[in-house]
Amino acid sequence: MDVNFKRISVDEAQQLIAEHPSKVQIVDIRDDESFENGHIESAFHLHNSNLQDFIAGADPEQPLLVYCYHGHMSQGAAAFLAEQGFGETYSLDGGYEAWSELESSA
């Protein structure tokens, strides 16, 4: 099976967002409580009940960054979304935990 998404570090993700601030679509696949307690700015909270609406409304030509808690579940979600036609799809290595650690140390 071909890998149709890329795993990127927090540093790489921040660089991607900085280079394309209004274009990167950020998707958080964690549970409701975790999302409410904190998420990456402008992240869309994706779950089963809004998945089809997201796929229908998102731009498959723009970069898509998917993250979860630690970067494991997001790989499957990124692969699924890439299969749905998203061309430039990324999974955040280390997930929100790594993102928030880097943000708090900055």
Active site residues: 68
Identify the bridge partners of residue 67 per DSSP, sorted by sequence position.
28
Count the Cβ atoms, other than its own, within 10 Å of residue 73.
16
Q: Residue 91: name the closest of 3, 2, 20, 19 by CA.
A: 3
